Amino acid sequence: MVMSREWKVENPDGSVSVRSCCWSPPGDHPVGCGMWLTVKDGKLVDVEGDEEHAITQGRLCIRALDLPEIVHSPERIVYPMKRAKEDRGKNKWDRITWDEAFDIVCGKVNYYKETYGAQSILVFGGTGREACIYYYPLAFSTLQTPNVCYAQSGWSCYGPRCSITDYILGAGYPEIDYAGYFSDRFDNPEFQLPKYVVCWGKMPLASNGDGLFGHALIDMMKLGTKIIMIDPRITWLGAREGNVNLQIKPGTDAAIGLGLANVIIEEGLCDQEFIENWCFGFDELAERCREYPPEKVEELTWAPAEQIRKVARMMAEKPVSIAWGLAVDQSPNGVQVGHITIALAAITGNIDIPGGLTLGPPSSLLGKWRMETRKDLDPKLWDMRLGANEYPALSNAMATTHPDYTLDALETDKPYPIKMLWFNSSNLLAPTCSAAPIRWHDAFLKADFVVVQDLNMTPTAMACGDVFLPLPTTAEHDGIVITHYGRNTVFLGAMNEALRVGETKSDVEICIEFGKRLNNAGPDGTSTWSIFEGDTRDKFVPDFFSKQTLPELGFDFDELRRIGLYQPGYSYRKYAKGELRFDGEPGFNTVTGMVELYSTLFDAWGEDPLPYYEEPRWSPISHPELAERYPLMMTSGAREYASFHSEHRQYPTLRHFRVYPDIEIHPDTASKYGISEGDWVEVENPFGVARQKASLVITIDPRVVHTRHGWWYPEQDGEEPNLFGVWKSNINNLVPHFDTGRLGFGAPMKSVFCSIKKVDNLDGLVVKKSLDIVKEQDKLQALEGVDPKNIVNIHSEHRV
């Protein structure tokens, strides 16, 4: 469907309105909400929703509505800057020209490549932003290093789910069916409304994960869909009339999954036809599930057995969609959670059917291209990726290093030294995508040279940046929004430049401009970047996107701008039609050609081929000797409308909605600790400590607290040691380094024990930054029976 108005319109008052699909920066997932941006006299003066956009239909979130404040924020960095290495941590930046920036950075890149090898350069990428498309080619092709790092411990965000899907289903990311592929949406004759959508460790309304427009759930609820929430908290969504809640202990998702499968199998509610024709290992799975009857699962998860039975019976009705969330990834037991989730969809016959779980190809379009740029790497370098050989299950599906292994390498210079860091849209010291961020901080300071690309000054940039390259916002550059980064492309949207403030360069402009300057032909003698024609961004950027879309879709970037949104349609039951496997045969693109309820690959990699449950490793149950000292479970990371992870706290309109991070505590628990609403609370465990403000709610279990992630204070002193207060509310300090599952995936980001106490204020908390001390904690972690005396000693040293 072509949108009716031209994408660029001049208004009677002389202003110009540009239609666009929103992505980033600042942070967001590729949701591509349709909007009209109006510019007058070089200022973004208005943002309006685009009612012709088939999915968002005029609706916008507050982060998009606040774009004028964001674009013209005095907090923004809009010129390249440099800082002397000895001034790291000090606000002593000097504005430079882009020519100087290119000269400095290219000189360093060539020096490290020649002196230490290209592998001595390490690129960090953050989450969600469009940088997720471009930080891979930036590394593989522009800089020609194999080392790209997403620093989240155990890669515990999206990557595990994608990898598990690849191994179990041989497909791209399974997403709920919300008829996004069709321009006529829910009216499409092939679409069926899901009876139930299971939101498992996911709150799509605020998170919009990977491009799923969360409020499509509300659209479907209005048509009759009911939601089943599996979550440690009762959420507003779960509390809607007719919706159903499985409120579980944090980190026990695998037990819940096995319990649900137990009921479905024991009560004979399976889709026998699908199991017989398309599943491998059902008998083995059934035998495993027998170990998890609902009464036992109630003990493990705290969810009532009767409620488990009720949900299991609902999940056996068709069609049912499962929205699996970040909680799947953020547990050392997460691979098993993902496995049992897919198994549940399979044994109930809900895979690739209308209203069920949709499947895309493992990668496509820009998502595929970004990985293929590794052709520009010397093949020897590919195997040198940090941790690639040690963690094949991770390095086979992900093109990155192993994140925890990477921190070890930075600290020890083994297996080889890392000299240069490049942060592309990652502020990982803020409690977002890293565990033990103090260790990362100290490790970054070892690097010889550090480049940071971002929108604003961040604690990460202030701590270690030597050159700062400023990014334009989503309103200020051309691009393509691709949902799920090409792993299940519900649609493509055109992002159009409405204005440009200062002298900034987008991710793709950086790739191309540095690529052309570094003149980096790959082993095949061709250069990825020189083919994009023109010397200015209005030429080479559209040419880049046209060269992405033309071969596969038959239209160029200008045509995408004109149609606004491209929805490809969807072919259901692809497995039966030979549309999933590369050889064109029916079945799934796995080793056995079936959905692997029993994973042949997990088996080969030394992991249990069947899903199993593991008690959270740092809980009062797994450490009874510490249960009295750390009696509560801490979960974290619930999304908010006014911010994206560590972003958006500089903008008053958005900050208004949450001034300080809150720790949710049940009133009974709070009164036991003498804590009242609004009190400052210190939350601590053997790994670290953080302060947040008490919010007393009955929607959380008395044995659990929920803390906010991503908090730092842009209004505070940015210089070391305060670094915008990045250590004060930093809950990732309470998460241990390298506590992953056997395959190298997952980390206990959402399930560690803790204690709480009332304190006077946010300040007065000093965290001693000592590598030795935090390393002691790792030693401690390796001990089988932990001596509480050690904890006391280390803990008191850890806090000065």
CB of 307 to other proteins, least distance (A): 6
Q: How far apart are CA 304 and CA 309, in angstroms?
A: 9
Q: How far apart are CA 687 and CA 730, in angstroms?
A: 12
Instruction: Count CA atoms within 13 Å of residue 199 on its CB side.
Output: 32
Nearer to other proteins, 317 or 413 (CB): 317
Nearer to other proteins, 126 or 250 (CB): 250
- Tokens 């939101």 belong to 199
Nearer to other proteins, 31 or 162 (CB): 31
Nearer to other proteins, 137 or 214 (CB): 214
Give me the 205-244 binding string for other proteins, x by CB under 8 A, dash otherwise: xx-------xx--xx-xx-----------x-xxxxxx-xx
Nearer to other proteins, 232 or 611 (CB): 232
CB of 726 to other proteins, least distance (A): 24
- Tokens 């491209």 belong to 566
Q: CA 119, 121, 127 angle in degrees (round to 5)?
A: 110
Phi, psi of 666 (to 5 degrees): -70, 140
Residue among 203, 436, 339, 331 at smallest CA distance from 751? 331
Contacts of 390 (CB under 8 A, 6+ apart): 402, 405, 744
| 775 touches other proteins (CB under 8 A) | no
| 509 touches other proteins (CB under 8 A) | no
Nearer to other proteins, 205 or 683 (CB): 205
| 359 touches other proteins (CB under 8 A) | no
- Cβ atoms 630, 754 nearer than 8 A: yes
Interstrand relation of 175-176 and 357-358 (parallel, antiparallel or unpaired): antiparallel
> Measuring CA to CA, how many Å separate 54 from each of 50, 91, 565, 660?
9, 46, 8, 36
CB of 214 to other proteins, least distance (A): 8
Q: How far apart are CA 745 and CA 739, in angstroms?
A: 9
CB of 53 to other proteins, least distance (A): 12
Nearer to other proteins, 220 or 626 (CB): 220
CB of 216 to other proteins, least distance (A): 10
Q: Which of residues 694-753 bind other proteins (CB under 8 A)?
A: 697-699
| 642 touches other proteins (CB under 8 A) | yes
Phi, psi of 707 (to 5 degrees): -115, 155
With contacts defined by CB under 8 A, name the span among 46-54, 128-136, 420-428, 501-509 that binds other proteins: 46-54
CB of 494 to other proteins, least distance (A): 21
| 49 touches other proteins (CB under 8 A) | yes
CB of 52 to other proteins, least distance (A): 13
- Tokens 């969600």 belong to 128
Q: How far apart are CA 633 and CA 665, in angstroms?
A: 11
> Which residues are 566's β-sheet partners?
492
Nearer to other proteins, 45 or 794 (CB): 45
CB of 41 to other proteins, least distance (A): 16
With contacts defined by CB under 8 A, name the span among 55-63, 175-183, 366-374, 376-384 that binds other proteins: 55-63
Give the pair of three-digit tokens for residue 440. Answer: 């990362």
Phi, psi of 564 (to 5 degrees): 80, -55
CB of 215 to other proteins, least distance (A): 4
Identity at 328, one-letter amino acid code: V
Give the pair of three-digit tokens for residue 632. Answer: 């509560």
Q: Which of residues 285-344 bind other proteins (CB under 8 A)?
A: 304, 307
Return the number of other C-beta atoms located less than 10 Å from residue 469's C-beta. Answer: 24
Of 16, 65, 371, 759, the one binding other proteins by CB under 8 A: 65
CB of 180 to other proteins, least distance (A): 16
Nearer to other proteins, 231 or 607 (CB): 231
| 46 touches other proteins (CB under 8 A) | yes
Nearer to other proteins, 236 or 380 (CB): 236
Q: What is the DSSP string of 402-429?
A: -HHHHHHHHHH--SS---EEEEES--TT
CB of 304 to other proteins, least distance (A): 7
Contacts of 471 (CB under 8 A, 6+ apart): 25, 425, 453, 454, 455, 504, 505, 506, 507
Give me the 678-697 binding string for other proteins, x by CB under 8 A, dash otherwise: -------------------x
With contacts defined by CB under 8 A, name the span among 3-11, 245-253, 326-334, 772-780 that binds other proteins: 245-253
Contacts of 47 (CB under 8 A, 6+ apart): 35, 36, 37, 38, 60, 64, 65, 67, 68
Q: What is the DSSP string of 209-238?
A: GGG--TTHHHHHHHHT-EEEEEESB--TTT
| 40 touches other proteins (CB under 8 A) | no
On the 0-12 / 13-18 / 19+ scale of CB atoms within 10 A, 218 is middle
Number of residues that bind other proteins (CB under 8 A): 47
Nearer to other proteins, 27 or 89 (CB): 27
CB of 701 to other proteins, least distance (A): 11
Give the pair of three-digit tokens for residue 195. Answer: 């009876």
CB of 578 to other proteins, least distance (A): 40
| 51 touches other proteins (CB under 8 A) | yes
Q: For binding to other proteins (CB under 8 A), which residues are involved?
A: 46-49, 51, 57-62, 65-66, 68-69, 205-206, 214-215, 218-219, 221-222, 234, 236-241, 243-247, 304, 307, 641-642, 651-653, 656-657, 697-699
